[in-house]
Amino acid sequence: MSYANYPGMLFSDTTGWTEIDRSHHDHRWFLSHLVMPMSLLPPALYAYAEMVHPGAIFPLSVPAFSPLQLFVSGAIFYLVQVLMVSYMAMLIQRMSMARDHDPGYDGAYALAAIAPMPLWIGSLAMLVPSMGFNVAVGGTALLASIALIRHGVRPLLHIGDDKIAHYVSNMVTMAAIGAWIVLMIMAAMILSILLGVAAVML
């Protein structure tokens, strides 16, 4: 997978996608080379934002998170992200099979792993202590993820029929948005629990 082709994948069904499909990487490759390293970015950058410029992006935590709390919340969030990609791969495969087309788990996992790349990269915005900037980057990253889903369905799932491709694209897009909303809710719940524990201990 060449990162040089990555921008073109947002606008084309062939640029970059053909190379990925021909590489025949299985889901374990995408897990170890893409999902696991990239999933480190959001929790690591959140911890950075909380420690370096607290209250600039997220509401100020009172009391402030300790390094241990940030590590625990980051570890949980990291694990949830990795599991979410596997769950999305399963959903993508089942949605395709509902239209009598089985793309295989490896193809479904490839799409599930590539789609959140803009969101992972977009988390670098937390280096900038501005809520408005982070909201703008987050919105743009979400649109880019949707574009990757819509352009990746045909080449990675090998769907030739226009109607099936359109159906799967729509279903996967809605499922992906729902999954990442749930992920954000879970992250907020984890932080609330940690704040509650910190308040009790003080």
Domain boundaries along the sequence of the chain: 3-201
Q: Enumerate residues 6+ apart whose C-beta is below 8 A from 85.
A: 31, 35, 39, 109, 112, 113, 116
Mean pLDDT of the chain: 87
Q: What is the pLDDT of residue 195?
A: 64
pLDDT at residue 183 is higher than 80: no
Q: What is the mean pLDDT of residues 15-28?
A: 91
Instruction: Place 76 in a pLDDT band, splitting at 50, 70 and 90.
Output: confident
Q: What is the pLDDT of residues 102-140, one digit of tens each?
A: 899 999 999 999 999 999 999 999 999 999 999 999 999
Q: Reply yes or no on whether the pLDDT at 12 is more than 80.
A: yes
The band of 194, judged by pLDDT with boundaries at 50, 70 and 90, is: low
Global confidence as pTM: 0.88
What contacts 24+ positions apart, CB below 8 Å, involve 138-144? Answer: 142/118, 142/177, 142/180, 144/10, 144/118
Q: What is the pLDDT of residue 67?
A: 86
Top-confidence range, 13-27, 111-125, 175-189: 111-125
Asked if 117 and 38 touch (Cβ cutoff 8 Å), the reply is yes
